[in-house]
Structure 1
Amino acid sequence: MSKPFKSSAREIVLKVRAFCEREKANEAPLIRLDQVRARVAAMTGMSEKTVSRITKKGEVAASTSQELKSPGKHRQKRKTVDLDDFDLCALRNKIHEMYTVRKVVPTLNKLLIELRNDINFGGGRTTLWKILKRIEFKYKNCGSKRKILMERHDIVTWRRKYIDTMRQNRVEGRPIVFLDETYIHASNAVQKCWQKGDEDGVLTSDSPGTRWIIVNAGGEMGFVSNAQLIFKSQSKSGDYHDDINRTNFMKCLSEKLIPNLPPNSLVVMDNAPYHTVQVNKAPTMSSSKVQMQEWITNKELSYLPTMLKAELYQIIKKHKEAPIYEADQLLISHGHKVFRLPHYHCDLNVIEFMWSLLKRRVASNNPVYNIIMRLG
């Protein structure tokens, strides 16, 4: 099957044919045969300079065995806007504040104005809309049929469960231990400082330098003694979570945290992938049909051999158990209790405020951006 031509190529074919028809009617060349460039320009409707430029590129492509390509358009790359956990919390809290304190309905335009002033948000309406969807808000009809920004009901319930758990824990008297990870760069320094013409003050680096990953836990008692883990990042990714996996997290949990936890603790953590490794993970629609059938058989359930994957998945959904996490099992086996934070609620994890304080203190004592080297 021949390759389809674009409209521009089709137009050139018609121009060449029209030129040939005119020469046929003239019974002689309209332009002398030895004037090749002029003849090509007249046939195709291009200038002779353009014909020369294309000819030269064709010769280069032929000599290097490369394909002759069209010149690419120079498009300005769109700037991506990505908010960190604190900014996402600020966005969620801004929506709640507008509803509960200021008694106004948040809209994209109102939120854009507020966020540009509060956190120097650099995105537009579409970017903000995508971020709101990512943190599980949706725009839907309320009781009066007017569309408003609503948080998912399960997230609201989850947050209420956290508050109830903390209240119940006051009665039980368990020590509360917040677990989390963060990162810090060797070039972490203050952004502003006192200076004058002949005194440069703090010199910031163009390169962020080595990234260090810090894992720790703590509560009212301060950081848990001997539970800290610091190691150098080996990942080129912008997300520090890529440096931590199930293996090194579970090793840190069993060797550093659990031996030093106060007895009968309540451990609070987020839902990072390495925190939520399931021991009873059920197949999903992306699993193979054989895996689905094996899972159903192991549960002593029945199915028909002619069933489709979608039908098998309905059986799995109906009978799958609540998730059991490997980290939870380990902590519970040592007499501790675990609670997981709602998604995008890092402000409920007290240790996040300690990370913020830590980074400010490191920056204030890092005038030549090498203080982190002493951590190693």
Structure 2
Amino acid sequence: MPKVIESDVREVVLNVKEFFMAEKEHGGPIIPFDRANDRVAAATGVSLRSVTRIIKEGRLAEASSSKIGTLGKKRKVRKDKLVMNDSDLNVLRQKINEFYTIKKENPTIKKLHSVLKEEIGFEGSREVLRQYIKKIGFRFTETGEGKGKCWLKDSDIDTADC
């Protein structure tokens, strides 16, 4: 089965072809043969520094009999992931209900975040709070008739009146 050639590899192939066509028209090498890395850089359209680095990686991979890897984006990994216990989740549920029953207003993430920060010392971001709200069964949904959006328990969506 033929191997799929990705667009960046196709681009390099075209660059190499153009380089050799230019040498053909020139009637000989544009860059002398003794400057191999410069020729590779010019032919592929990759910088000389990148060519040198790839060659070095190739030597190391050959010595350790492994493949040359592709460098990916390095992402930060959070080690101290915030975990809310059952009592914290109950407080969150009560605070959402309190906004509707006592304060008679729609709880926004910003409002809930500030209240939970004060009352239970919540240290997570607003996005983490949003994820926990969804985890306990609430959805931010349109109420219809131009009434806006609000957090509703999945079971209460039919009778939505924010």
The bucket for the TM-score relative to the shorter chain is 0.7 to 0.9
Question: How does the TM-score come out when normalised to structure 2?
Answer: 0.79
Task: Write the mapping of 1:41-80 to structure 2, written as runs, cut at 5 A.
Answer: 41-77=41-77, 80=81
Structure with higher RCO (Cα < 8 A, 6+ apart): 1
1:123 aligns with 2:125: yes
Distance 1:53 1:43 in 2: 16
What root-mean-square deviation, in Å, do the aligned CA atoms of Structure 1 and Structure 2 show? 2.4
Distance 1:92 1:68 in 2: 51
**Offset of 1:31 from its aligned partner?**
1.6
Distance 1:2 1:61 in 2: 26
Higher strand share: 1
**Offset of 1:107 from its aligned partner?**
2.0
Q: Rate the CA distance shift 1:149–1:73 in 2: closer, same or farther, 3 A.
A: closer
Q: Cα deviations across residues 226-259 of structure 1 (Å, max 9, x unaligned)? A: xxxxxxxxxxxxxxxxxxxxxxxxxxxxxxxxxx
Q: Tell me the residue number matched to 1:95.
A: 96
Q: Cα deviations across residues 164-183 of structure 1 (Å, max 9, x unaligned)? A: xxxxxxxxxxxxxxxxxxxx
**Offset of 1:144 from its aligned partner?**
5.9
* Secondary structure of 1:148 counterpart: strand
**Offset of 1:3 from its aligned partner?**
2.7
Higher helix share: 2
Q: Tell me the residue number matched to 1:217.
A: none
* Secondary structure of 1:139 counterpart: strand
Q: Rate the CA distance shift 1:66–1:145 in 2: closer, same or farther, 3 A.
A: same
Q: Cα deviations across residues 114-133 of structure 1 (Å, max 9, x unaligned)? A: 223333231223x3232122
Percent identical residues: 37
When the two structures are aligned, how many residues end up with a matched partner?
A: 153
List gaps (5 residues or longer) in structure 2. 157-162
List gaps (5 residues or longer) in structure 1. 155-376
Question: How does the TM-score come out when normalised to structure 1?
Answer: 0.37
Q: Tell me the residue number matched to 2:150.
A: 148
Q: Cα deviations across residues 26-70 of structure 1 (Å, max 9, x unaligned)? A: 121112222211211211223333222211111221222211112
Larger Rg: 1
**Offset of 1:113 from its aligned partner?**
2.4
Q: What letter is aligned with 2:86?
A: D
Distance 2:25 2:144 in 1: 78
**Offset of 1:91 from its aligned partner?**
0.5
* Secondary structure of 1:150 counterpart: strand
